[in-house]
Structure 1
Amino acid sequence: MSENLIAVLEQDVGQAACEQAAYRLLDWLGCALVGAREEQGLAVIRYAKTLPEGNVACIGGGKREASTSAFVNGALGNILEMDDLHRMAIVHPGDTVIPAVLAVAQRELSTSGELLRAIVRGYEAAIRVGEAAGTEHYRYWYSTATCGVFGAAVAAGSLMSLDRDKLSDAVGLAGMQSSGLWQCRLEKGFAKQLASARAAQSGVLAADLAKCGFPAPRQIIDGRLGLLAATSTNSRVEALTKTGSECWKVGEVSEKPWPGCRHTHPVIEAALRYRVKLSLDKISHVEVYTYKSAVDFCDDAMPDTPHRARFSLQHAFAIAFIKGEPELSDYVGEVLADTTIDTLRSKVAVFESPDLSAEFPHRYGCRLIVYTEDGECMRESILSAKGDPENPVDASASRRKFRSLAAHAGLTDEFAHDLEQTILGLPSEHSCSSKLFDGLEALIDL
């Protein structure tokens, strides 16, 4: 099966997909810049500085060898829950693919076209494996890491010009390193960042070993004792090689306009609709009906840490209704303790909706009912939250998001603007991506 997947990935990557890849890179970098300032990011950067130096830049961690850079950068993109998402795969592909691409591209002095095509192919592999693994895999396994490692390996192998045989070995070796359990979300700690970091790093290692002649299983994904058999009861192996569309899956990715787990975004959008037609003192109580995974992950009426707040449907509704479009500052200390926000959170009850569960992961939807003090009942339904392909953010909003995150991370407006222009100019460049690499080097002491 690995060879058949590789055959799909060998299709020509056109200009449109390269432009989409540039925006995915911009989005990831903004998230990673802010992540590097957080407690989790600072911890992994301290670790990086204990390791030998190399010639590849990693954000905040100096110049290290390629797999270390992939590890450090791979830990940063998902810290503040603003990373991109493919709904059907339930994978955040940028978190693992882009750190692997940036590490290997710097080492190999890749051209801008090679870099962007590697992102496109890496996204394709990660997403297809995620689609094949299905929702039951996601129940216990952190799909971004377990499936993202395949995308990282394919992307790294693409930059190294591995032939089909060796790229198949890289896929097999990626499968031997696929890991990440959801117990990490039930306990305190930074293990989630370790999973994405290791997936990015393992992808680079898999490609490097394959290049050196390290053979691997060719049915590691779909074999009798492979990933799908071991970790899913509703796998769809046909997703690995299904064709019928000329579009690359990088174009199917959702971009988050607001902080917080993607499961909370439909509720945020609904709350924003309510706030323009209802005053806070009129709310008696709120019922949120949504799909099972959203309930499992995000039913938390009393979040007491930024991490818990980013996974709270109740907090998402309260801050969006009271303050408007959520910002990073809406998930920290004094906001969490605000009595007005806490009072509204306590009025929000969360329930599973069987019909919305049946739609997941095709749709991440919700229905809200707000009951007023005078007995009125007000309803809102969101089937495609802002940022989904059916309800996209436009290019200007993506650029504003990057500039906002860059400012939050302490970058000057001028430097952020130059980085933005460099990244979005990559599809029109055909030489070595020197300006991008120079920009990354300027971030090694962030």
Structure 2
Amino acid sequence: MDTLCVEEISLTGLMLDLMKVVPSLADQEGAALHLLDWLGCALAGAATSTGRAMAVAAGATECPFSGSRSSIPEHAFALGSFGSLLEMDDVHRAAILHPGPVVWPAVIACTSSENTARAPEAALRGYEAMIRLGTSVGAGHYAKFHNSSTCGGLGSTVAACWMLELSEEETQWAMAHALSTSGGLWECRNEPGATKHLHVAEAARRGVQAALAARAGIAGPKRILEGALGFFAGLAPDGTPANLLKEEPWMLHQTSFKPWPACRHTHPTIDATLALRDMKLKRPEHIVIETYADAVLFCDNPDPVDTGAAKFSLQHVVAVALADGPPKLDAFETAAIRRADLAAIRQICRVIENKEMTAAYPAHFGAKVRVTTSDTETVVDVRDAWGDTENPMSPAAVIEKFEMLAAWAGIKSDPLRAAALDTQNGAYLLRGLLDILPAPLNKEV
């Protein structure tokens, strides 16, 4: 593990020093756009069968987003239950984590009429803490642990502490509590289930609970990150703690939006396949998908058996993009998985690692798709997925995505959109709207 000389001050204290920069209006407007993105993902996620089960687990079945009858941590858990379910949540490439569905539930759960204007700045700081830790933990950590979970508690607690106006010392205690209770084992990737999404809800809850514990006067170890028995020693021994303190603009601006309802590792492959579809090629006889090693590890699955597996199948997204065009939410439902034409395309796909793309990852998510027909071979090479900073989605495209997700869930979007984009009062307005929002339409997903 790289070492960092720290004698009189802890890494948690140094991180908080970095976050004392006052965000600009543009920074706050950027945060509001990410709030809108999380909201759309959560509204649609709540309409799925897994979302309905998560609402039952959170004890909020009639109004699944409501915190009016629950504690603040339970409210964060309820809000955190839905945002990652459709695999459309925002993502930071270098940290390999999804901050939106962890940080925004903590912010909304801690919002009141008195502190609502603090919400954009709280989210910026929550994203900052979560992403900085994610970029520091190293590949060995990600091989065994879900970064959105292990690093998420830090993001949600920093956001909650800002909303609750805790002192710097109290915030360091809260950071220690959240990091001490970190978890999120990747075994959930090896069997069907929704534990991965439970990680996200629990990270949101854990951070809020840690903030409340600190506010109550419960102290925690300030050297929780670098200590001999701390986070890096225990969970990320090959990590790089110095990455926590790099001079960078607000990390939220490096966070990508996801246009397609599938694992982010599949997105450059989708983009390349859509470009091939536009060429109106003859019927494919053979397809080769080249991409980076993690995409192969997570998403090489020619025979997905359920919605979750289909969202993590390079072969399935290629089949859908070739046959139907831009993947829609129903492209990953059971009926689509069982379609004979899609199954046939999946079986002619071969997935291989592209060493150059592996070397460029995670700074760049790339894929190359080669389609061979009876008389031609055509290749499209995508080096950055749509939604990344090098190939960004416009604000209009993000709003269009929100409108699509809300409509899919059968929810009137206008008041929710207006609240999310209001940088001064939006969080409190949104909380009030969500508290009375009935359960969305049931979807068989």
TM-score, normalised by the number of residues in structure 2: 0.93
> For 1:286, what is the secondary structure of its paired residue?
strand
Q: How does 1:41-440 map to 2 (within 5 A)?
A: 41-49=51-59, 59=65, 63-106=69-112, 109-243=113-247, 245=248, 247-281=249-283, 283-374=284-375, 376-412=376-412, 416-424=413-421, 426-427=422-423, 429=424, 433-440=427-434
AA matched with 1:104: C
Task: Go from structure 1 to structure 2 and tell me whether the alpha carbon gap of 1:432 and 1:368 turns closer, same or farther (over 3 Å shift).
Answer: closer
Residue range with higher mean Cα deviation, 133-142 or 310-319: 133-142
AA matched with 2:429: K
For 1:49 and 1:407, the matched residues in 2 are separated by 25
Unaligned runs of 5+ in 1: none
AA matched with 1:360: Y
For 1:435 and 1:142, the matched residues in 2 are separated by 32
> For 2:223, what is the secondary structure of its paired residue?
coil
User: 1:262 Cα deviation (Å)?
Assistant: 0.2
Q: Is the 8 A contact 2:108 2:427 kept in 1?
A: no
Task: Go from structure 1 to structure 2 and tell me whether the alpha carbon gap of 1:184 and 1:80 turns closer, same or farther (over 3 Å shift).
Answer: same
Identify the match of residue 442 of structure 1 among 415, 436, 442: 436
Does residue 1:6 correspond to 2:21, yes or no? Answer: no
Q: Is the 8 A contact 1:62 1:444 kept in 2?
A: no
User: 1:442 Cα deviation (Å)?
Assistant: 2.6
2:443 alignment partner in structure 1: none
Q: Is the 8 A contact 2:58 2:78 kept in 1?
A: yes
Identify the match of residue 29 of structure 2 among 19, 25, 29: 19
Q: Is the 8 A contact 1:318 1:344 kept in 2?
A: yes
Q: Is the 8 A contact 1:62 1:445 kept in 2?
A: no
User: 1:318 Cα deviation (Å)?
Assistant: 0.9
Q: Is the 8 A contact 1:35 1:76 kept in 2?
A: yes
Q: Is the 8 A contact 2:40 2:402 kept in 1?
A: yes
For 2:384 and 2:415, the matched residues in 1 are separated by 33
Task: Go from structure 1 to structure 2 and tell me whether the alpha carbon gap of 1:131 and 1:110 turns closer, same or farther (over 3 Å shift).
Answer: farther
User: 1:111 Cα deviation (Å)?
Assistant: 3.7
Residue range with higher mean Cα deviation, 353-362 or 261-270: 353-362
User: 1:58 Cα deviation (Å)?
Assistant: 5.2
For 2:349 and 2:272, the matched residues in 1 are separated by 13
User: 1:379 Cα deviation (Å)?
Assistant: 1.5
For 1:129 and 1:394, the matched residues in 2 are separated by 28
AA matched with 1:25: L
Q: Is the 8 A contact 2:54 2:81 kept in 1?
A: yes
Q: Give CA deviations for 1:12-31 in whole Å, capped at 9, x if unaligned.
A: 11111111110111111111
AA matched with 1:28: W
Q: Give CA deviations for 1:281-321 in whole Å, capped at 9, x if unaligned.
A: 1x121111111110110000011211100000001111111
Q: Is the 8 A contact 2:420 2:427 kept in 1?
A: no
Q: Is the 8 A contact 2:67 2:109 kept in 1?
A: no
User: 1:436 Cα deviation (Å)?
Assistant: 2.1
Q: Is the 8 A contact 1:286 1:369 kept in 2?
A: yes
Q: Is the 8 A contact 2:368 2:382 kept in 1?
A: yes
What's the C-alpha RMSD, in Å, of the aligned pairs?
Answer: 1.8
Task: Go from structure 1 to structure 2 and tell me whether the alpha carbon gap of 1:444 and 1:236 turns closer, same or farther (over 3 Å shift).
Answer: farther
For 1:330 and 1:60, the matched residues in 2 are separated by 30
Residue range with higher mean Cα deviation, 8-17 or 230-239: 230-239
User: 1:41 Cα deviation (Å)?
Assistant: 1.5
Q: Is the 8 A contact 1:422 1:435 kept in 2?
A: yes
User: 1:435 Cα deviation (Å)?
Assistant: 2.5
For 1:171 and 1:435, the matched residues in 2 are separated by 28
> For 1:351, what is the secondary structure of its paired residue?
strand
AA matched with 2:230: G
How high is the sequence identity, in percent, across the aligned residues?
Answer: 36
AA matched with 1:279: L
TM-score, normalised by the number of residues in structure 1: 0.93
Number of aligned residue pairs: 430
AA matched with 1:440: L
User: 1:280 Cα deviation (Å)?
Assistant: 4.7
AA matched with 2:409: A
User: 1:377 Cα deviation (Å)?
Assistant: 2.2
For 1:8 and 1:58, the matched residues in 2 are separated by 36
User: 1:398 Cα deviation (Å)?
Assistant: 0.7
Q: Is the 8 A contact 2:419 2:426 kept in 1?
A: no
User: 1:139 Cα deviation (Å)?
Assistant: 1.0
For 1:433 and 1:260, the matched residues in 2 are separated by 28
1:29 alignment partner in structure 2: 39
User: 1:410 Cα deviation (Å)?
Assistant: 1.3
User: 1:74 Cα deviation (Å)?
Assistant: 1.1
AA matched with 1:170: A
